[in-house]
Structure 1
Amino acid sequence: MIVALLNQKGGVGKTTLALHLAGEWALHGKRVTLVDADPQGSALDWSQQRARENVSRLFGVVGLARDTLHREAPEIARTADHVVIDGPPRVAGLMRSALLAADLVLIPVQPSPLDGWASAEMLALLREARIYRPELAARFVLNRCGARTVIARETAETLAEHDPPVLASTVGQRVAFADAAQSGRLVFELAEQSAAAREIAALAAEVARIAP
């Protein structure tokens, strides 16, 4: 299964979610490779920080920020149970290649009307990809939100009426994610029973259930 986290808007938490989904699946015994397709290389930086901290490797991270990704990712998938693609912001050719590579696209958005509007270009690329890959599945992921806030609830209700739909699982705005990233770790490694770790576990389980 190849899962791509994509949104042309930056700062929505693609890398954080990609790393944590990969880590959660690896924790449960899956063979996972994370493909860093963002020219900024944030996932690679995280992996290097983890090595400097002498923390054991959970999954492999490879850099493939090029528009041949749709040909290379399936080759990587031959030796992995899950391939997670951390996609680029606003690089149309690379975004199209990631869409053609994926079995499932996750579109992280924050609970804000502005994020919904910014996703319009992403959805246009998704529709274009489905001309060639009509079976391509996609979901919105509500990220960096306060689950009990009015705007989070309204954003979820708005997205529920759209295609693609929104996942039931949400991920909160939590300092635990920043604390973990600084040391090349994941939230469940800092506190296994934390709210952040429980949210990631629920998200990974839901994604695994809907994956084609």
Structure 2
Amino acid sequence: MFVITFANPKGGSGKTTSAMLLAEQIALSGGRVAVLDLDPNANILGWFNARQSEGRSTPFGVHARPQAEDTVALIDSLDGSADYLIIDLEGSKDQIVTYALSRTDLCLIPMDGSPMEARQAAQAVRLIETTGNMIRTRIPYALLFTRTNAAFQTTDERDVRSEMEQNNISTLPVRIAKRAPYTRIFRDNVLLSELPAIIEAETEGKSASVTDKALKQVISAIENAQDYAQTVIDHLTKARAA
């Protein structure tokens, strides 16, 4: 079982959305996926429970935050029933974060391209490296740029990428753009893959141009999510091989 964690001490970094998109895309490709929601806000768990209460299926299971001392046992118990375990970590330096990192094959640090978020990401990097030193095992990690402009790369993002490269900090080449369909996932308790049919139903009776415009936004979001998931899997495979 591959364990992929998402960490960032700053709220609003796109951490939970990134975890959700990855879970769905891997599940749709045939992988057995489990999600462990360690974030105190429990947005993924709330999303999952809402779907369950409405009788809607979900291609992956979601597990609630356990007691800190039970974290490693829970993670280990999922090995065999899941090919991938995706963990949405809480932002603080709580002991439960250290426990989860100790079982991590790849930690992704979502951030936008601003210098302020780069400093927050540096805190996550230090925590990952400190945990790796404690368990005497290197924990692979990479920065993931999220909530970016879909049309172009900002000067700040280019500068941050250059700075990270100079400091030998890995960054994923793919970016998760700021898109309305990603916000709608949590607002309406839907999967990204469900949105095309929802849009078609909502625009029924309207002009073709209105429908096409709405669908184009969703298709672009899906393609972005697919590219992102494939990049993560490629990075994870290389990290495991190393």
TM-score (norm 1): 0.92
Aligned match of 2:178 in 168, 173, 187? 173
**Residues 132-175 of structure 1: per-residue CA shift (max 9 Å, x gap):** 15232111100001151322333333333334310011000111
Q: Which amino acid aligns with 2:124?
A: M
Residue matched to 2:112 = 110
Structure 1 position 98 matched with structure 2 position 100:
yes
Could you say if the C-alpha distance between residues 65 and 106 of structure 1 is closer, same or farther in structure 2, counting changes exceeding 3 Å?
A: farther
Structure 1 position 49 matched with structure 2 position 50:
yes
Moved more, 15-24 or 161-170: 161-170
Residue matched to 1:11 = 12
Aligned length: 212
- Kept in 2, the 8 Å contact 1:87–1:95? The answer is yes
Residue matched to 2:26 = 25
Could you say if the C-alpha distance between residues 71 and 173 of structure 1 is closer, same or farther in structure 2, counting changes exceeding 3 Å?
A: same
Residue matched to 1:210 = 235
Could you say if the C-alpha distance between residues 3 and 108 of structure 1 is closer, same or farther in structure 2, counting changes exceeding 3 Å?
A: same
- The alpha-carbon deviation at position 65 of structure 1 amounts to 4.5
Alpha-carbon distance in structure 1 between the residues aligned to 2:6 and 2:67: 16
Aligned match of 2:127 in 104, 125, 128? 125
Greater fraction helix: 2
Alpha-carbon distance in structure 2 between the residues aligned to 1:162 and 1:74: 34
Residue matched to 1:67 = 68
Structure 1 position 144 matched with structure 2 position 137:
no
- The alpha-carbon deviation at position 21 of structure 1 amounts to 0.5
Q: Which amino acid aligns with 1:127?
A: E
- The alpha-carbon deviation at position 88 of structure 1 amounts to 0.3
Could you say if the C-alpha distance between residues 77 and 162 of structure 1 is closer, same or farther in structure 2, counting changes exceeding 3 Å?
A: farther
Runs of 4+ in 1 over 4 A off after TM superposition: none
What secondary structure sits across from 1:78 in the alignment? coil
Q: Which amino acid aligns with 1:201?
A: Q
TM-score (norm 2): 0.81
Alpha-carbon distance in structure 2 between the residues aligned to 1:61 and 1:201: 21
Higher relative contact order (CA 8 A, sep 6+): 1
Unaligned runs of 5+ in 1: none
- The alpha-carbon deviation at position 53 of structure 1 amounts to 4.2
Alpha-carbon distance in structure 1 between the residues aligned to 2:228 and 2:114: 20
Alpha-carbon distance in structure 2 between the residues aligned to 1:136 and 1:124: 11
* Larger Rg belongs to: 2
Alpha-carbon distance in structure 2 between the residues aligned to 1:162 and 1:52: 47
Alpha-carbon distance in structure 2 between the residues aligned to 1:186 and 1:157: 34
Could you say if the C-alpha distance between residues 119 and 107 of structure 1 is closer, same or farther in structure 2, counting changes exceeding 3 Å?
A: same
Q: Output the aligned Cα RMSD.
A: 1.8
Residue matched to 2:219 = 194
